[in-house]
């Protein structure tokens, strides 16, 4: 099982290692704290953009309330991810807490896109390992970056495009699995609107809120045609 999980998560390895290293390098070169605080943050916080924001907050000794609000707002898009995984994580027992904790953009993408069998317990075990592998890559990247500091020898410029490519591949896979183009165009259009109207820090949450709003409207419309069924679910 570990071998197929490794294959599945390989694109994430290519993305998380350099991005984690970028965070680690930033952490040791900008701050005076011990190097191991960087992988520690990867273990207990585990958020890419969030940790990079954390470096700038640490640099100015930000107040803890400010830290809470900044991290919550930056990661608010995750609020919507759980909504589509309620059923999938149901009955996962002790694993569930970790599955929820490790729900990054990339893990969410893999967990919602991969083909699933009928053995629920087995599939949840695979989900669990995917989440664990991904976090290992991230923590490893944080540690290497923090230890090496500015002495990174290998020119890995651009390797983080692996995550963009992964999102593109998963979009195609979602399209094939659904057989409908509507959500794909909706997502791309919402991203376009958000990028035109919002500053970079709020584009993801803006686009995800917009997508969710349209899906809710569309749900109401389709329910409106069969009002009896809606009232029965009251």
- Give residues 76-105 in contact with other proteins (rule: CB under 8 A): 76-90, 96, 100-101, 103, 105
CB of 149 to other proteins, least distance (A): 18
**Helical packing angle, 161-178 and 182-197, nearest 10°:** 140
Q: Among residues 114 and 149, whose Cβ is nearest to other proteins?
A: 114
| Least Å from the CB of residue 132 to other proteins | 16
Residue 191 as a binder of other proteins (CB under 8 A): the answer is: yes
Between 105 and 125, CB nearer to other proteins: 105
Contacts (CB under 8 A) with other proteins, residues 114-153:
none
CA 165 to chain centre: 15
The C-alpha atoms of residue 55 and residue 33 are separated, in whole angstroms, by 11
Instruction: Decide: is 178 part of the binding site for other proteins (CB under 8 A).
Output: yes
> Looking at 5, 41, 140, 142, which residue binds other proteins (CB under 8 A)?
41
Q: Which of 35, 148, 152, 183 binds other proteins (CB under 8 A)?
A: 183
| Nearest C-alpha neighbor of 74 from the set 191, 204, 209 | 204
The smaller minimum CB distance to other proteins, of residues 108 and 128, is found at 108
Shortest separation between residue 136's beta carbon and other proteins, angstroms: 18
Distance (Å, whole) CA 119 – CA 100: 20
Residue-by-residue DSSP string for 168-231: HHHHHHHHHHH--SHHHHHHHHHHHHHHHHS-HHHHHHHHHHHHHHHHHHHHHHHHHTSHHHHH
Q: Count of residues binding other proteins (CB under 8 A)?
A: 97
Residue 91 carries which DSSP code?
T
């Amino acid at each position: 099982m570990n071998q197929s999980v490794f294959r599945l998560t390989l694109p994430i390895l290519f993305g998380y290692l350099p991005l984690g290293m970028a965070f680690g390098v930033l952490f040791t070169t900008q701050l005076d704290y011990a190097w191991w605080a960087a992988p520690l943050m990867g273990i207990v916080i585990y958020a890419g953009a969030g940790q990079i924001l954390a470096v700038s907050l640490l640099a100015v000794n930000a107040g803890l309330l400010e830290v809470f609000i900044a991290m919550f707002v930056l990661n608010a898009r995750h609020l919507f991810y759980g909504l589509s995984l309620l059923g999938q994580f149901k009955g996962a027992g002790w694993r569930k807490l970790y599955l929820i904790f490790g729900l990054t953009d990339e893990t969410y993408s893999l967990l919602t896109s991969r083909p699933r069998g009928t053995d629920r317990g087995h599939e949840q075990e695979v989900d669990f390992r995917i989440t664990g592998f991904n976090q290992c890559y991230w923590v490893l990247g944080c540690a290497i970056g923090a230890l090496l500091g500015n002495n990174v020898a290998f020119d890995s410029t651009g390797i983080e495009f692996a995550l963009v490519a992964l999102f593109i591949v998963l979009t195609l896979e979602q399209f094939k699995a659904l057989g409908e183009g509507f959500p794909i165009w909706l997502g791309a259009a919402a991203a376009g609107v958000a990028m035109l109207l919002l500053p970079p820090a709020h584009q993801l949450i803006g686009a995800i809120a917009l997508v969710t709003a349209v899906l809710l409207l569309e749900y109401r419309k389709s329910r409106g045609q069969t009002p009896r069924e809606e009232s029965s679910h009251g």
